[in-house]
Structure formats: structure tokens, C-alpha cells
Amino acid sequence: MTTWSEFKRKRPLEGEAKRAYEAARQKMGVGYLILKARAEAGLTQAQLAKRIGTSQPMIARWESGAQVPSVTSLLRIAEATGFDLAVALQKPGSTKREFQVISSHRSGTGRPARSTPARRRAG
């Protein structure tokens, strides 16, 4: 029997199908970011769940967009996957963003920093 992963490797999406798939995945928002961070860290859902003290089904619900994790959970995910967590606020139509890095692996202490000053960024 061919697994889904094997099937996807043998028949990768191309062209319009690939663009449509990516657009749909990006609409999932935070869940898509969790999935990407987990994949880049080389973790399974079960491994990430164990690292952050939750269940694999919860990771699946977050990644699918069925539920939205708390900021505390997002901090744990960032720490477990080697990412920083930043929260941004932006007015509709504006190019200015106010954001706060609330987890940083560049603190130099070996532990993520929990809060750094807000920065203004044009984007």
C-alpha cells in the first residue's frame, strides 16, 4: 500500500494546483505557521506535542485551523521549534506595524527571552 507521503513525493503538485493549495493553506493562518515551524524543525505532531506538554490531536486541531492556540501555547511551540514569536498589530490599509517580540532565542542566555521592547517596522 502506498502512503500519502509516498504518493505526494511521486506526484508533486505543479502549476495552478500548487498555487491553489498554497493559497488554501495560508488561509489557515496560525495553523499553517505551526505546521511550517514543526516541519522545519523536523518534528512529528506527536514529538511536538510531547515537547510542549499537550496531545498530538491538539497539535492536529491547531494545524488544521479547527482551534486557535493560546499565546502561552504559541510561546511553547516557538521554543520547541527554534523560532521567535512576534505579535503584530496593523491597521487595515496601513504599511506600519507595531509588533512585540515575546520570545527570542537570541537572548544569549540559552533560554528564550520572554519580552523585548516593541519595535516599529514599515512593511
Tell me the pLDDT tens digit for each residue of 50-85: 999 999 999 999 998 889 999 999 999 999 999 999
Tell me if 60 sits within 8 A of 96, measured CB to CB: no
- Mean of pLDDT values over 82-110: 74
Residue 55: closest CA among 65, 69, 39, 42? 69
Q: Scanning the structure block, which residue is given the C-alpha cell 493549495? A: 21
Q: Scanning the structure block, which residue is given the C-alpha cell 505543479? A: 14
- Mean of pLDDT values over 42-49: 98
Q: What is the CA radius of gyration of the chain?
A: 17
Residue ranges, comma separated, of all CATH 1.10.260.40 domains in the chain are 14-81
Q: The C-alpha cell of 36 is what?
A: 511550517
Residue 84: closest CA among 56, 119, 53? 119
> What share of the chain has pLDDT > 90, as a percent?
40
pLDDT at residue 106 in the model: 54
- Mean of pLDDT values over 19-29: 72
- Mean of pLDDT values over 23-27: 67
Q: Which CATH number fits domain 14-81: 3.40.50.720, 1.10.260.40, 1.10.3720.10, 2.70.98.10?
A: 1.10.260.40
> What share of the chain has pLDDT > 70, as a percent?
79
Q: Print the SS3 string covering 88-120.
A: EECCCCCCEEEEEEEEECCCCCCCCECCCCCEE
Cα 94 from chain centre: 24
- Mean of pLDDT values over 9-18: 80
pLDDT at residue 105 in the model: 60
